[in-house]
Amino acid sequence: MGTTTVMPCPILVGNEWREVKTGKTLPVHNPSTGEVIAHTPMCGKDEVDAAVRSAHEAFQTWKDTPPVQRIQVLFRYKMLLEDNFEALAESITREHGKTMTESRGDIRRGIEVVEYACAITELMKGDMLENIASGIDCHTIRQPIGVSAGICPYNFPALVPMWMYPMAIACGNTFVLKPSEKVPLTSIRLIELLIEAGMPKGVLNIVHGGRECVDALLTHPLVRAISFVGSSPVAKYIFETGTQNGKRVQAAGGAKNFVFVMPDADLPKAVEGMIDGAFGCSGQRCMAASTAVVIGDVADHYLPPLADATRELKLGPTDRDKTARLGGVINPEHRDRIIKILDEGVKEGAELLVDGRNMRVESQPNGFYLGPTIVDKVKHGMKICETETFGPVLNVMRFEDFDEAIEIANKQAFGNGACIFTNSGKLAREFSHRIQAGMVGINVGVPAPLAYFPFSGWDYSFFGDLHVQGKEGVLFYTREKVVTSRWHGIGDGEIWHKD
Ligand code: NAD
C-alpha cells in the first residue's frame, strides 16, 4: 500500500483490454496522499460503440444460455472474490480514501449481490394458471431485455457496480459498465476476476469517461436499459434522456437523511449510531446521517457527548494508518465545495459546534483532509439544510415536538433514508408510517438494505419505477411475456386411462 505506481486504465471490449491512446484523461488520486495513481481516459462515441456492439453480439448467445449455466460463472466468481478480498479492499481504500474496514464492507455487500444473483433460477420463474377458460392455460415467463449499461458514482467503487452487473448478466443480459472516472481501478480488477471465472467474450464490457461517454450510452440504439447511481441533477438528466431515447431507466440520486433522536432514546447508542452514520466513509454515502433532529430537551443531554465523540475521531491516511477513523475526501475540489457550504451555513446563522474545516494531517500535507464537523441550529430554508454536503458534516436541527419535526423533514426534496432513535414502539411505528423516505431505520444509524431487498429511494432521490437489488432488480433486467395456450385434438400418442 502507499505505492506511487501509476496503474493502467484500459477499456474492455470482447474480453480484450485496450489502452485508449487518444483524447483527454482525468487524474485518479489517492486521497490519503494526493498522489496521482492512474489517468482515466475520457471515452467518446467510438469506444462506446465498440463496447455496445460487442455486448450486442454476445447477447445473441448469452440470452439462450440456460440460467443454470449462466450462474456457474457467478459461483466461480464468488469464490474468486473471496480469494481476492483483501486486495480488492486495498484497491478501494487506495482510490477512494475510506478505511479498510469500510472497504471490506463495500466489497462484502457486493459479494452478497453475487450470491443473490446465483439464485436466478428461482428468481426468474414465472407464474401459471391452468384453465383460465375451458381448456386454456396461461403462463408468464421473464426474458432478458438486451444490452444494459451501468453508470456509477465514486463513493462505493465495488458495491455500486455490483448492484448492477451480476443481476443483469444472471438474467441473461449483456452489459457495458462505466465506472466513476474518479475510481476506475477497482472495477477493472472486479471484471478481470469475472473473466477468470469464465465469463464469455463480450458479456461484460467497460468504457471510461464523463458526460460525452454517458451521452453516447444514453443515445445508442442498441442499449436497452440504463442503471444509474449518482447525484440527483445527473440522475434526473439520465432518466429524462434515457427514456426519451426509448430505454428502460433506473436512476438513483442524492440524499439528505434526517435522523430523529427522541427524549426516550438510549442516548449512548444514539451517539454511536450518529457517529457511524454521519462520519463513516467521511460522510460520502447516500445513506449518511446528514441531519440530527433533536426533540425537546434532548439537545442538552445528547449534543455534548456527541460533540466529544466527534472530536475523538482520528483523521489520517487510511491506506497506512489502521487507527484512522476518517480518511480524505475524494479530491481537492470536493473539499473546497464542502467548506464553501459550511461557510455559507455560518453566514445564514448556523453555529459550528465542532469545526473540522482547518484540520489537516501533518504527515500527509497533500492529502484531501477535512475534519468531522457538526453544525448546530440549522433551520428549514437555509441552503445548508437542503444541499447534499456529501462530506463529514452533520447538521443539527432542534424542534419542540415530534409533529413539527416530521412536517419539516417531509418538506425536504430528497427521500432516500430516515432514522429514529427511540424506545417507544408507538413512536417508531408512527415515524415509519409518516416519514416520506424510502428506507427507514429504527435504532439503526444507516438503514442500507442488503442484496435481497430493494435500495428504495423516493422523490428527488430516485427516478424510475424499479430500484436496484432484490426482486425489483430482477424485474428491471427482464421483460415479462404472457403465453395463453389451447391445444386441439389429442395428437398421435396413446392415451392411457386409469380405469
Ligand atoms: P455524479 O453524479 O457526479 O457522477 C455519477 C456518474 O455520472 C459518473 O459516472 C459520472 O461520470 C457521470 N456524470 C457526471 N456528470 C454527468 C453529466 N453532466 N452528464 C452525464 N453523466 C455525468 O456523482 P458522484 O459525485 O460520482 O457520486 C456521489 C453522488 O452519488 C451523491 O449525490 C450520492 O448521494 C449519490 N449516490 C446515490 C446512491 C443511491 O443509492 N441513491 C448511492 C451512491 C451514491
Q: How far is the CA of 493 from the centre of ligand 1 (A)?
A: 61
With both helix axes pointing from N to C terminus, report the angle between 232-244 and 211-219 in degrees, rounded to the nearest 10: 30
Give the ligand 1 atom nearest the CA of 455. 40
The pLDDT value given to residue 234: 98
C-alpha–C-alpha distance, residues 376 and 353, integer Å: 6
Q: Active site includes 152?
A: no
Of 305, 297, 296, the C-alpha closest to 275 is: 305
pLDDT at 387 over 60: yes
The pLDDT value given to residue 307: 98
Q: Set out the domains of the chain in order of their start, with CATH numbers.
A: 11-253+461-483 (3.40.605.10), 257-442 (3.40.309.10)
The pLDDT value given to residue 2: 45
Give the ligand 1 atom nearest the CA of 233. 2
Which residue among 160, 212, 236, 286 has the greatest number of ligand 1 atoms within 8 angstroms of its CB, and so is best to mutate?
286
C-alpha–C-alpha distance, residues 160 and 226, integer Å: 14
Average pLDDT over the chain reads 96
Query: Which of 296 and 41 is assigned the larger pLDDT?
Result: 41
Q: How far is the CA of 231 from the centre of ligand 1 (A)?
A: 4
**Mean per-residue pLDDT, 361-369:** 97
Band of the pLDDT at 254, cuts 50, 70, 90?
A: very high
The pLDDT value given to residue 493: 65
C-alpha–C-alpha distance, residues 343 and 341, integer Å: 6
pLDDT in tens, 188-229: 999 999 999 999 999 999 999 999 999 999 999 999 999 999
Whether the CB-CB separation of 370 and 338 falls below 8 Å is answered with yes
Of 278, 285, 419, the C-alpha closest to 353 is: 278
Which residue among 234, 281, 455, 467 has the greatest number of ligand 1 atoms within 8 angstroms of its CB, and so is best to mutate?
234
Band of the pLDDT at 498, cuts 50, 70, 90?
A: confident
pLDDT at 243 over 50: yes
pLDDT at 179 over 80: yes
**Mean per-residue pLDDT, 48-69:** 98
pLDDT in tens, 405-421: 999 999 999 999 999 99
pLDDT in tens, 306-361: 999 999 999 999 999 999 999 999 999 999 999 999 999 999 999 999 999 999 99
Ligand 1 environment, Cβ below 6 A = 151-156, 160, 178, 180-181, 210-211, 214, 229-231, 234, 237, 252-255, 286, 388, 390, 416, 455, 457, 461
Q: Is the dihedral of CA 72, 76, 79, 81 positive or negative?
A: negative
Q: Catalytic one among 118, 171, 213, 286?
A: 286
Q: How far is the CA of 308 from the centre of ligand 1 (A)?
A: 33
Grid coordinates representing 305? 457527548
